[in-house]
Amino acid sequence: MRKTNIIFFILSLLIINSCKRELTTEQIVEKVQETIENSKFGYYKQTEITKQVSVGEDSTTTESQRDFYYKKEPKDTLIGFKIASFEKNGFHQVYNTENLFGLTTWNKTLTITDKNQYPKQVSRIKQFYNSFPFFFFVKNIFDNATKNDEIEIINLGSTKINNQDCYKLTIKTPKNDDQMSSEQIYYISKDTYLPIGSDISVSTKIVNATEIISFKIRISDINLKGEISDEIFTQEKLSEYVKVINYTPELEQRPNTLLAIGEKAPEWELSNSKGTKINLNDLNGKIAIMDFWYKACGPCNKQMIKLQELHDKYPEDKVKFIGINTIDDPIEDNIDLFLGNRNISMETVFNGKTIENDYQVTASPALFVIDQNGIIVHNIDGYSSNIVEELTEVIEKYLK
């Protein structure tokens, strides 16, 4: 009898403990919010893996790692923290409540942004998980979800991340676009109730193609107990620079450096995917639209789809649209499949990098309109959201 009572007692304890561990989604979220809010300072290592997939075509993966420090500063009403982020072989950033310092290590240039002069520019760091403390970034997302009746946080069960038992939470938002869908998953440590990872993916349907971009974040080496010296949040910690720039809005305005309007378009001869050679002289007597692009350039792809609308509108014996691919190999990179999945039928030629200097192209997309006499009458440096309207006006003018 006594043995039976002992077994019953042990089973009861196990059941009670099991019940204690089973929290509702609301309770988990409350614990997460409370734990993060109580964090005054901290350090962690953040690993980011970004993957871009064109379904049935190809994929690219990039990985980066950064050391991240933060310290709460309640008096700073703009950001609320001192922040230091040091990316391995990449971009370093420090915010000390007065200035935002950004160091691009590849050109050893330090950009200083004054908070009082340009608060809007500085406040942008709150929008990104790699420039704002990850724990508080997730807390803000959870706070917004709990206040919005159209957003739901769902517990998908348990899993292991970095050898830690975690709750797996997803955020379900209303679907507003049939061509786009997204998924957000956050991993909450059962020991600390801190978010130690996230998986975010966005899927976009582009004609017959599906493109997926995913962001995998993992947090490790967390230390919220050791005091962090204010020295880490100083300009002196960013010592590997040879040039200093003080931020002004003009820095974000990219100057048009393309070969100027009025110049004679330099001659070229390039081949399409079938090996057929095409040269600029073949287009004499027509309006020619030359669009410099490459496959991995997102803005290029958006622009090409817009250009296809105009290609379908105008007869080819009067207006010729031609893509100048600067990087890709037509066979190895499956360019015909890539274009076909997006219903792009306008001509594309390759090895365009050989004529970039002639046209003073330093980045893509870059576009030129050449009249019937071979003179550049319009150019666009970078992506234009109103390119259809802009080019329609130019084409109609020179068709007359």
**pLDDT tens digits for range 81-110:** 999 999 998 899 999 999 999 999 888 999
Same-domain status, 297 and 208 = no
Q: Does a structural domain hold residue 4?
A: no
328: pLDDT strictly greater than 80? yes
Range of the domain at 302: 269-399
Express each pLDDT in 178-218 by its tens digit: 788 999 999 999 999 999 999 999 999 988 899 999 999 99
Judge if 45 and 159 occupy the same domain.
yes
Instruction: Express as a percent the part of the chain with pLDDT over 90.
Output: 84
Which pLDDT value is given to residue 144?
95
pLDDT, position 254: 73
Does 264 reside within a domain?
no
Per-residue pLDDT, 10: 55
Residues 298, 369: one domain?
A: yes
Backbone torsions φ then ψ of 276, nearest 5 degrees: -75, 130
301 & 334 share domain: yes
Contact status, residue 183 vs residue 201, Cβ threshold 8 Å: yes
Tell me how far apart the alpha carbons of residues 62 and 60 are, in angstroms, rounded to a whole number.
Answer: 7
Cβ atoms 326, 353 nearer than 8 A: yes
* Residue 283 reports pLDDT greater than 60: yes
Residue 91's domain is classified under what CATH number?
Answer: 2.50.20.10
Based on the domain organization, do 292 and 368 belong to the same domain?
yes
Averaged pLDDT for residues 131-146: 96
- The answer to whether the CB of 323 falls within 8 A of the CB of 336 is no
Contact 342, 209 (CB under 8 A): yes
Is 180 in the same domain as 288?
Answer: no
- Whether residues 85 and 224 fall in one domain: yes
Task: Tell me the pLDDT band of 318, cut-offs 50, 70 and 90.
Answer: very high
3-class secondary structure for 273-329?
CCCCEEEHHHHCCCEEEEEEECCCCHHHHHHHHHHHHHHHHCCCCCEEEEEEECCCC
| Total-model pTM | 0.84
Q: Do 282 and 204 share a domain, yes or no?
A: no
160 shares its domain with 123: yes
Residue 330, pLDDT > 90, answer yes
The reply to whether 262 falls in a domain is no
Residue 231 and residue 333 in one domain: no
The residue whose two tokens read 């609301």 is 26
What's residue 213's pLDDT?
A: 95
What is the per-residue pLDDT across 4-19, written as a single tens digit (0 to 9) for each?
555 555 555 444 444 4
Do 233 and 278 lie in one domain? The reply is no
In total, how many domains does the chain have?
2
- pLDDT at position 59: 86
